[in-house]
Amino acid sequence: MNDSYSLTRKDLLLLGILFLAALLIRLYFLQFYRVISADGVGYVLAARDIVSGAGLGKMTIYGVIYPALVALASLLTGDMELAGRLVSIFMGSLLVVPLYLISLEFFSRRVGVLACLMVLVWSPLRSWSCEVMTQATYITLLLTGLYLAWVAIRKRSPLTSFFAGVVMALSYLTRPEALVTFAALVAAMIAAALLLHIPRQRLLTILLAAGVGFVLPLLPYLALVHSVTGKWQLAGKTGNTVADALSDYLGRPDLKNEPGFQGIGILDVIRSYPGFLWPNFLGNLRKTWETMLPGYLWAMALTGFLTYGWDRERISRQLFLIASFAPLLVIMVFFFVGPEYLQPYLPVLFLWAGSGLVWLERTLAGLAGVEKRPVISRAISVVPVSVLLVVGVALSALVTQVPANGNEPYHFSQDGARYDHKRIGLLLKQVLPPHSRIMTRFGRISFYAEMEQVMVPQAGIPELIEAAIRNKARYIVIDGVLAQMRPQFEPLYLPLIIGNEKVYYLERGTGYGPVPNLRLLFLYKDPSSVGVVVYEVLNPR
């Protein structure tokens, strides 16, 4: 057992400093975030429904915990987007607490400090902690659940196990992959109990407590899902994320927006597209290796893992850490790996990397005979070389994240038109009737226009118009990005590619009609923008 697990005043002071540093860093970078993320639109809409009393149906799609926290924060800020960012900033800063506590249990204070320093500044973790996204909240809850699960085994405590189950349920109600982690943690608890000779009866009590703690918070959610979908299932949305990964394999871009698409599950993929699985896994494995960490951190993490020790208790601890990676295997087989999927596994890798660095430091100090040089030995004991090294790396990483040209004029190529979609949405807010229902491919446009979105189908123009009429969308929004995604809409986006490069035109008469039932209402073009053309549906039902 690690005899340095109990908290001291020094630990509390360190945690306070680390949390405050993380909070200040994230608050500083908040100024550089000026447009909501694509998924953030859904989370904000779910939070808005909570505040307005419009219903809880969107929580079956976007989860419960994060939208609820955003709704609560919005009562203080009055701004849903800002509330979402502040929740992520707070929860992302709070991540240092469970990470440090895990290190006290599994490694040492020094390793905990090293791992937390990396969490403070590592670009994906820092960046997504400023976004309207669930990642920061999810990771903090997940590591808290892991910590409590281990403490439950170490203390043989059913009560702690119950709270571990509750926290893992909250993780699941934030992001559904926590279900896989919980199952892996239960397996780790069983294996650790066998290794540590915990009596079977006590183990069963601990597992039962964890199960009850996990299930109880889910019961209201399951009832909500049933009331919305009419089915008893674990989530209200299934298949869309798998469809995103499958689109390229099938050569059917935007598969989930094809007419009649009903979602596709993991079992459907296994049965119908077995040839997709292995190449997708290998591609994701390569991408993970290339993008998740630089080579030197992979080397340090592997060193920390291999040099940790292999007695019964250390193996038990390693099993808990390994269990946290369980969802990654599923993701790599069935989905596309991206930064948002890899973030939850970075903190544990930082623990291993910190452990590897400390081992290397001690090994080199021993070879150099540092213990025979009292002055150097005392200096290193006060400020270890490993800490100085990680502080240097952290400061360097932080400096490189500050935008170099904050006053540079905007062009859509800088961010793939993310901010441009905000500008387009604000334009539509000015020129279209308030609270209109618009058909657009991008939720950001409808969000900033403060209008209800109807998704653009992956179909031809007749089906597009029919879908707009069926869904009572009065306006169809064709922007430059959609023009690239839907080449079959050429008659509709033609005004964006012909004529003057700078246009602001609002039709007040009959207007141009490229096809029956549509008339051009608004055209905006600018060299800095992808542009937008808006058509009015002439005979909406």
CB 463 within 8 A of CB 448: no
CB 333 within 8 A of CB 280: yes
CA distance 341 to 333: 13
| Residues 397-402, mean pLDDT to the nearest whole number | 90
CA distance 244 to 428: 29
* DSSP state for residue 454 in the 8-state scheme: E
Range from 25-34, 80-89, 185-194, 338-347 carrying the lowest mean pLDDT: 338-347
Is the pLDDT reported for residue 159 higher than 90? Answer: yes
| Residues 506-524, mean pLDDT to the nearest whole number | 89
Is the pLDDT reported for residue 59 higher than 70? Answer: yes
Q: How confident is the model at residue 6 (pLDDT cuts 50, 70, 90)?
A: confident
Query: What is the per-residue pLDDT across 15-32, written as a single tens digit (0 to 9) for each?
Result: 999 999 999 999 999 999
CA distance 410 to 388: 39
Q: What is the pLDDT of residue 289?
A: 94
Residues across the chain: 541
Q: Which neighbouring-strand residues pair with 535?
A: 476, 520
Is the pLDDT reported for residue 1 higher than 60? Answer: no
Q: Is 312 helix (H, G, I), strand (E, B) or coil?
A: helix
Is the pLDDT reported for residue 238 higher than 70? Answer: no
Q: What is the pLDDT of residue 337?
A: 86
383 token code pair: 């400020």
pLDDT exceeding 70 applies to what percent of the chain?
Answer: 95
Bridge pairing between strands 503-506 and 518-525: antiparallel
CA distance 193 to 277: 35
For residue 140, count CB atoms less than 10 angstroms from its CB and return exposed for 0-12, middle for 13-18, buried for 19 or more. buried
Q: How confident is the model at residue 214 (pLDDT cuts 50, 70, 90)?
A: very high
Residue with tokens 């204070």: 109
| Phi then psi dihedrals of residue 325, to 5 deg | -90, 0
Q: What is the pLDDT of residue 236?
A: 59
Q: What is the pLDDT of residue 14?
A: 94
Q: What is 11-34 written as a DSSP string?
A: HHHHHHHHHHHHHHHHHHHGGG--
Q: What is the pLDDT of residue 233?
A: 63
Is the pLDDT reported for residue 3 higher than 50? Answer: no
Q: What is the pLDDT of residue 232?
A: 64
